[in-house]
Amino acid sequence: MDWQRTAEASPARAVPDLPPAIAPNRAPATGAWREGDPVGDRRFVSVGDVPLESGETLPGVRIAYESWGELSPARDNAVLVLHALTGDSHVRGPAGPRHPTGGWWPGVVGPGLAIDTDRWFVVAPNVLGGCQGTTGPASLAPDLVEWGPRFPFLTIRDQVAAQLAFARELGIERFAAVIGGSMGAMHVLEWAITAPQAVERIAVLAAPAATSADQIAHNAVQLEAVRADAAFRGGAYYDAPDGDGPSRGLALARRLAMLNYRTAGELDERFARSWQSGLDPLGGGGRFAVESYLDFHGNRFTRRFDANSYLVLTEAMNSHDVGRGRGGVAAALARIEAASLVLGIDSDRYFPLTGQREIAALMPHSVHGPDPVVVSSEYGHDAFLIEDDAVGEALRTLLAA
């Protein structure tokens, strides 16, 4: 999902023409953080080998994370914040040489905000399979060559197993809250079901109990866009002789995804049929503003993400089903002991409100009763990253419970 909130919420007139410097054929082979790159605010924890649901074991896993606030002597004020598909550990803080973009939730996490870092010790790890410091396809395997296409298939449960190991390494046995949106909310549900004793409160923002066929279908088109790029080379592109990676395919996947993350109404309101240049649209030589908007953000995405990671994480989202092997969704959710917040967005066309309504109705300890908190927004799925006041109010209620 889209987490570059500030730039993508800007008005249409602020969308520039696509600079040649970020054209797809000049993007790096990968936008992943690599060994030797500036560390920035990242910290690292080694969690050892992680057994996977497939029966494989991923060796020597390392988790990159950032934190804010102070852990109390009783270790009872830790809040785990879990990111969406294309996010990372940089929840707050500026962009720069060490971090390709600014923090993705600066209006929610920080001193005096809904997740108040003067009160809470906030921890945000980069997900297993990611590309900003945690072990993923762009990381070096034991043979000191990038994992690439050899990286194993991951499920949401595998990623939570790595997060549980990470928490143990930090010495945190119980989180005051585990909070996440979109893919991060899938992890939140698994935390509450897999390790109910380790979670006091949970916030499930804009995610379903199981990924639907429709959602998997949309994801499948994005995966094929990446794989169809000739520069993908079956996933072995890190040391391509020409230095070219599957930036065109990855940018196209991003464009497709953004059409799910935002709404038709927002795009029509922002862009209508406006033309990006002064040229006559009937005479050629220019582009509709909405096309340039998608191009700009799709191509910029290739500067901060890795194509193999995009495949691994999207397929992990496709695996999401809390009821798998647990007697169904209702039986799985009945295991949850934490005080729970379920939040959805009325305009979300990626993970519609039906999914959040199902979860809320089955949650045994919801702080808002059998219905989800509904945020009314023009921004669609991305609203949980943009509507700080509404989301913050709901989180404050949860954290006060």
Tokens at 333, concatenated:
């959710």
Whether 209 shows a pLDDT value over 70: the answer reads yes
Cα radius of gyration rounded to whole Å, the chain: 20
Percentage of the chain beyond pLDDT 90 is 81
- Cα–Cα distance between 340 and 371 in angstroms, integer? 11
* Alpha-carbon distances of 151 from 52, 57, 145, 147, 154, rounded to whole Å: 12, 11, 11, 5, 9
- Of 35-44, 137-146, 238-247, minimum mean pLDDT range: 238-247
- Cα–Cα distance between 153 and 129 in angstroms, integer? 9
End-to-end CA distance of the chain, in Å?
29
Q: Bigger pLDDT: 359 or 285?
A: 359
pLDDT tens column, 330-342 = 999 999 999 999 9
Q: Among positive and negative, which fits the CA dihedral 275, 304, 186, 256? A: positive
Tokens at 49, concatenated:
């080998």
Query: What CATH number does residue 16 fall under?
Result: 3.40.50.1820
Per-residue confidence band for 241, with pLDDT thresholds at 50, 70 and 90: confident
E strands within 18-97? 43-51, 57-68, 78-82
What range defines the domain where residue 263 resides?
5-400
Residue 89 DSSP code: S
| Residues contributing to the annotated binding site for substrate | 254, 382
pLDDT at 283: 58
For the segment 346-354, the average pLDDT, to the nearest whole number, is 97
One-letter amino acid at 346 equals: D
Percentage of the chain beyond pLDDT 70 is 91
pLDDT at 26: 55
Residues acting as catalytic residues: 182, 348, 381
- Cα–Cα distance between 56 and 366 in angstroms, integer? 36
Q: Decide: 249 and 226 in contact? Cβ < 8 Å.
A: yes
3-state SS, residue 337: coil
pTM tops 0.85, yes or no: yes
Q: Bigger pLDDT: 16 or 228?
A: 228
Residue 235's nearest CA partner among 305, 311, 302 is 311
Whether 271 shows a pLDDT value over 90: the answer reads no
For the segment 339-360, the average pLDDT, to the nearest whole number, is 98
- Cα–Cα distance between 315 and 318 in angstroms, integer? 5
Q: Which DSSP helix (H) or strand (E) runs through 110?
A: strand 109-110
**Strand partners for 121:** 78
Whether 22 shows a pLDDT value over 60: the answer reads no
| Residues contributing to the annotated binding site | 254, 382
pLDDT tens column, 280-320 = 556 566 778 888 888 888 889 999 999 999 999 999 999 99
Q: Which DSSP helix (H) or strand (E) runs through 332?
A: helix 329-333
Per-residue HEC secondary structure of 142-202 comes to CCCCECHHHCCCCCHHHHHHHHHHHHHHHCCCCECEEEEECHHHHHHHHHHHHCHHHECEE
Tally of structural domains, the chain: 1
Q: Among positive and negative, which fits the CA dihedral 298, 299, 304, 307? A: positive
For the segment 254-282, the average pLDDT, to the nearest whole number, is 81
Phi, psi of 167 (to 5 degrees): -60, -40
Whether 151 shows a pLDDT value over 90: the answer reads yes
E strands within 216-372? 339-345
- Cα–Cα distance between 116 and 68 in angstroms, integer? 10
With 0-12 / 13-18 / 19 or more C-beta atoms within 10 angstroms meaning exposed / middle / buried, residue 16 is exposed
pLDDT tens column, 81-115 = 999 999 999 999 999 888 989 999 999 999 999 99
Phi, psi of 291 (to 5 degrees): -65, -45
pLDDT at 14: 32
E strands within 200-295? 201-205
Residue 25 DSSP code: G
